[in-house]
Amino acid sequence: MADKRDYYDVLGIGKTATEDEIKKAYRKLAKQYHPDLNPGDKTAEEKMKEVNEAYEILSTPEKKSRYDQFGHAGVDPSYGGGGGGFGGFTGGFSNMGGIDDLNDLFSSFFGGGFSSSSRSRSATAPRRGQDIQASVTISFLEACHGKKVEITYNRPDKCPDCNGSGAAPGGNVSTCPDCNGSGSVKTTQRTPFGVISSESACPKCGGKGKIISDPCKKCGGAGKVNMQKTLSVDIPAGISAGQNIQLSGQGAAGSNGGPYGDLHIRINIRPDEIFQRDGFDIHSDFPVTYTQAVLGDELTVPTIDGNVKYTIPEGTQGGTIFRLKGKGVKKLNRNDHGDHYVHIVVEIPQKLSGKQKDKLREFDASLTLQNYQKRSSFFSKIKKMFM
């Protein structure tokens, strides 16, 4: 296709011409090349077509803007023609990042995108309500054993005065004449990529598809109001901090008869002074005296299910870990439990009296002699092995 003349040159005006100057130039040329004044003159007929085309573009602000930015390619999809692709783009969609990116590109240029049943839906179709986030804080032991708690939160709900219609009792609700109740309007534009249809919310009814003459005073015609709701929630035994409990249908109210959203409750757990948790296992420190560690003793060990008896042997070292099988946290949605690990901490006595210190030195000396005799016996056995 031969290159077209610049539309400004066709009308004989500059690019800064005002609307009145564009209209004045068109009228002058229309009189000059009008077919009635030039019967049978093919040249005048072609000139008139060219003038009409130029005026149609430059007299429409949106088209003029695209022409100023992109030239003929911005207003004529056939301009540039040629080998395949879309509107003269030989690369097709492969270099455009897919249909979504291309639609975004069109939206940024022309305020709309492809009209497609897969990408749009009626503004008056039922819509599910939004999900709502809430949180609850419980104690360490409550998380281990489970607990029923009450939670209070706010959610958008159907207006009780109008039952979600948005209209005052007895008020008139009519179908929007601009969108015929669909809630959306379509516009079609010629672009360098072809004819593009865009769909947007109807400005007259705000996308509702209906006109309310007398809005509900409580909700202002929105059909929804924020309402406080209190629920009793069962928190299962074994739940961990940061986990969520989902309650279906307890979120925000839907639109146009759509279902309620869900409520997501995040669990926060206060730390415990005695117990630490690792998965479903429990860890705790247990202090013993120096004498208990040396001689051994029966201990009363606290667990999440109460006290249990445990006997440590003679000579228990600090840092020794004992396992209490099955005394940990109940596993979520199961019947078995984790274990409880007891970490022995030997307390070293402080501020001893002189008499106590003497007794301790005497005791240590006897242990030293005992250890020396054991070492002598051991090395004697080693020496015999190599004789």
Separation CA 347–CA 353 (nearest Å): 17
Q: Is residue 119 part of a domain?
A: no
Contacts (Cβ under 8 Å, ≥6 apart) of 347:
287, 288, 289, 290
pLDDT tens column, 321-351: 999 999 999 998 888 999 999 999 998 877 8
Based on the fold, state whether residues 148 and 184 are members of the same structural domain: yes
Single out the residue in 236, 269, 302 at which a domain terminates. 269
> The CATH number of the domain where 35 resides is what?
1.10.287.110
> The CATH number of the domain where 334 resides is what?
2.60.260.20
Based on the fold, state whether residues 265 and 137 are members of the same structural domain: yes
Q: Is 238:160 a contact under the CB 8 Å cutoff?
A: no
Single out the residue in 253, 269, 285 at which a domain terminates. 269
Based on the fold, state whether residues 67 and 97 are members of the same structural domain: yes
Based on the fold, state whether residues 156 and 254 are members of the same structural domain: yes
Helix axes 19-33, 42-58, angle to 10 degrees: 170
Q: Is residue 124 part of a domain?
A: no
pLDDT tens column, 78-94: 554 443 333 333 333 33
Based on the fold, state whether residues 249 and 294 are members of the same structural domain: no
Separation CA 312–CA 300 (nearest Å): 11
Based on the fold, state whether residues 66 and 93 are members of the same structural domain: yes
Based on the fold, state whether residues 141 and 251 are members of the same structural domain: yes
Q: What is the pTM of this model?
A: 0.57
Q: Is residue 118 part of a domain?
A: no
β-strand pairing of 340-347 with 281-289: parallel
Based on the fold, state whether residues 223 and 290 are members of the same structural domain: no
What pLDDT is recorded for position 291?
Answer: 86
Q: What is the mean pLDDT of each run of 10 residues along the chain (387 residues)?
A: 76 88 88 79 86 89 82 66 38 37 43 41 76 94 94 93 84 82 78 71 79 86 90 94 93 89 95 94 94 92 95 94 96 91 90 83 71 58 51
Q: Is residue 2 part of a domain?
A: no
Q: Is residue 116 part of a domain?
A: no
Residues of 140-162 as b/e, b for ≥16 C-beta within 10 angstroms?
A: bebbbbebeeebebebbbbbeeb
Q: Is residue 126 part of a domain?
A: no
Q: In which domain, by residue range, is 55 found? A: 7-110
Copy the structure tokens of residue 367.
Answer: 């242990």
Amino acid at 86: F
What pLDDT is recorded for position 45?
Answer: 84
Based on the fold, state whether residues 338 and 245 are members of the same structural domain: no
What's the structural domain count of the chain? 4
Q: Is residue 261 part of a domain?
A: yes
Based on the fold, state whether residues 196 and 212 are members of the same structural domain: yes
What pLDDT is recorded for position 348?
Answer: 83
Based on the fold, state whether residues 287 and 371 are members of the same structural domain: no
Based on the fold, state whether residues 243 and 317 are members of the same structural domain: no
Instruction: Output the CA torsion 104→109→112→117 (10° steps).
Output: -50
Q: Is residue 125 part of a domain?
A: no
